[in-house]
Structure 1
């Protein structure tokens, strides 16, 4: 074993002995930093800021959000993984955690070996929406239009390797249509071009699309979720339209560096559960079109198992589809 790794192993072992029940009972004694590996204002930033006040209250210490964007979320993830495993540095991350390592191998970490889950934070689903210039008004009409004569539909997405990017590829494959993929630097830019009629279609969260559908600025064709969206009950789910494989969850998880003592993980998880059970947090989730995971899926063990399953699924798809970070 290299000397540096040996020292790290000894440090982790020493920390493990130090963090017995008494030390864990005192945790935390200072502010906790949560790394958001994306730019401010995005889904992960919103996810942690929605719960940070209540999470801070449950832990009795401030929560400080640090934005560390880059490489599909891998730069921030790597910083969190290499932090001291003492519970004072955490990571908020989403599907990109298991997608980006395939696309950015030089910046990648071994998610299952270098991070461990505190718990799942929330989940949400996306609408397939289009600009109002498209003559199709229903999903079957849209599919017929996409497969008809003329140039391929211009499918916007907020970046290579994002869930919306993979959903666009999956949708095109599922219906057997060619599309032109157009990457943007975030979902806001992509939606602006949908509203302006410069791009045809995009997968978008209810937070960015529901109000635009309601006001007639864009068209909604399907909701990629197990149930219909309450505010837009007339839009069917993709499963109801015959495409259940396109009902895909966008999730957020809270993680810690591998080696963080289990008593500290358990205390963080208990605070997270208390936070997610708060009525104000639940109301904020409803307003933003997201929901908490069921209680039986909120343990660290269940979260680790869920993330491992997602890693296997999405890494296989990215490799099979030969998706490259520099391609559109």
Structure 2
């Protein structure tokens, strides 16, 4: 072997050794992961729609990971406080984020964010998509969506529309609804879905657009009036409820997707393990049945980092334009 070839062989070996050395910590971490409970941050209040998804998913993912997944609610500022905590968490796979469409709307809604949604997270995968329902207090005058729409337009100054706070799913649905019908409405922001629903039940506020994971039980118990769902097709758990499209608002569709993230820099082998647990969790019959009961659509075929990353980019551009047009901002 010539001297030149020997030198090249040594150089290649050195590069390979360096690469192995760089991968070694991540590989070692992945081999032992998880060796303790994992925390799944939900940036909204306990008992809300995202919390319901998270707790069901955490239990199903536990079966694959072999460790408890503790759901921690870190509510406030439209989900941005809890999201920021995950962005700043140690990137070892023991802190995860279960967040919804608000991940894509926050950059446009908030003038200042303490995190960079595009660069501070490692995507794991999409989880579920949840339709919305238009509901009202049980003594609301309208008996179907056509009557509801006519009454809202005729009495908009007297009526109040609840939402769970700026950036919440109910707030976003409200933006689309008012824009679509061309009518300004008095909106009442609450600190979470639960207090908003309580005031619907208590007849303190008139109506709200919210996720089926929060409204299905109340609808089936006849505690609220339900007028339509925002999905393309009717929801199996609420078969008698028409879509907004078939009720006259052509093309109206709002789905609240949910995704799972880890902090940026989490070793890829660890992300791979979390993703494997996510895919298994989404396939778990117990989870699928629970989501079906609540009208949610399981996105098992999109439970990958690439699918979530692509979806976030598309949704960020879409909602950025909508929010800019509406002129709605939060400090």
- What is the TM-score of this pair, normalised by structure 2? 0.86
Q: Are 1:321 and 2:308 matched, yes or no?
A: no
Instruction: Give the Cα–Cα distance (whole angstroms) in 1 for the partners of residues 21 and 239 of structure 2.
Output: 52
Q: Is 2:315 aligned against 1:310?
A: yes
**Structure 2 CA distance for partners of 1:207 and 1:298, relative to 1, 3 Å:** closer
Query: Once the two structures are superposed, what CA deviation does each residue of 1:146-200 show, in whole Å capped at 9, x if it has no partner?
Result: 2226734311111112121121121122122231111112222222222333222
The secondary structure found in structure 1 opposite 2:119 is helix
- The answer to whether the 8 A contact 1:93-1:254 is kept is yes
How far 1:16 sits from its partner (Å)?
A: 5.4
Unaligned runs of 5+ in 1: 1-12
**Distance in 2, Cα, partners of 1:36 & 1:255:** 11
Structure 1, 20-29 or 226-235: larger mean CA deviation? 20-29
Q: Which moved more, 1:212-221 or 1:77-86?
A: 212-221
Query: Scaled by the length of structure 1, what TM-score is found?
Result: 0.87
How many residue pairs are counted as aligned between the two chains? 313
Of the structure 1 ranges 13-22 and 220-229, higher mean CA displacement relative to structure 2 is found in: 13-22
Deviations 1:20-65 (A, max 9, x none): 5555333223322222222222223222211223312211222222
Residue in 2 aligned with 1:88? 94
SS in structure 2 of the partner of residue 112 of structure 1:
coil
For residue 71 of structure 1, what is the aligned residue in structure 2? 77
SS, match of residue 247 in structure 2: coil
CA–CA separation in structure 1 for the residues paired with 2:189 and 2:195: 10
Q: 4+ residue stretches of structure 1 with deviation over 4 A?
A: 13-16, 19-23
Residues 39 and 71, structure 2, Cα contact 8 Å, conserved in 1: yes
Please give the root-mean-square deviation of Cα atoms over the aligned residues, in Å.
2.4
Report the Cα offset of residue 322 of structure 1: 1.2
Q: 1:59 to 1:145 in 2, by over 3 A?
A: same
| 8 Å Cα contact 1:100/1:108 also seen in 2 | no
**CA, structure 1 residues 267+137, in 2 after alignment: closer, same or farther (shift >3 Å)?**
same
**Does 1:221 find its partner at 2:227?**
yes
Matches within 5 A, 1:169-248: 169-248=175-254
Q: CA–CA distance in 2 between the matches of 1:23 and 1:210?
A: 42
